[in-house]
């Protein structure tokens, strides 16, 4: 029989390597001012508010222990249950052809 592993928590935040990694990523986002657009934050918050792991009382996810008003605003944030993911800024690499002249040569 395999015993279920108990994950330690401090003030509702799991203590793990993943927690340390996500806190580091969140700190970088805040330092670099990498925030998602308002509509992306709203979509994330709407998903969270429908989730059984959402704590309305503390505005917190009970899976990761994060304050969601902050976490939902950062680009590298992702849901621990994969209900929403990172927001990547994709550079527009389309070539501007407006100045190209049509030639028949």
Among 26, 36, 61, 74, binds ligand SF4 (CB under 6 A): 61
Among 26, 54, 65, 75, binds ligand SF4 (CB under 6 A): 54
Cα angle: 84, vertex 89, 43; to 5 degrees: 35
To the nearest whole angstrom, how small is the minimum distance from the Cβ of residue 28 to ligand SF4?
Answer: 19
CA–CA distances in Å: residue 100 to residues 4, 93, 96: 65, 17, 8
Q: Of 52 and 92, which has the nearer Cβ to ligand SF4?
A: 52
Among 15, 53, 76, 96, binds ligand SF4 (CB under 6 A): 53
Rounded CA separation 76/70 (Å):
12
Q: How does strand 13-14 pair with strand 9-10?
A: antiparallel
- Which parts of this chain interact with ligand SF4 (CB under 6 A)? 47-48, 51, 53-54, 61, 63, 79-81, 83
């Amino acid at each position: 029989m395999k015993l279920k592993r108990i994950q330690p928590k401090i003030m509702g935040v799991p203590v793990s390597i993943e927690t340390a990694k996500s806190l580091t990523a969140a700190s970088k986002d805040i330092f670099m001012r990498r925030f998602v657009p308002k509509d992306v934050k709203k979509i994330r918050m709407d998903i969270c508010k429908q989730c059984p792991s959402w704590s309305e009382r503390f505005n917190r996810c009970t899976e990761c222990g994060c304050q969601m008003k902050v976490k939902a605003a950062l680009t590298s944030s992702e849901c621990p249950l994969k209900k929403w993911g990172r927001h990547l800024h994709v550079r527009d690499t389309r070539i501007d052809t407006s100045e190209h002249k049509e030639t028949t040569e």
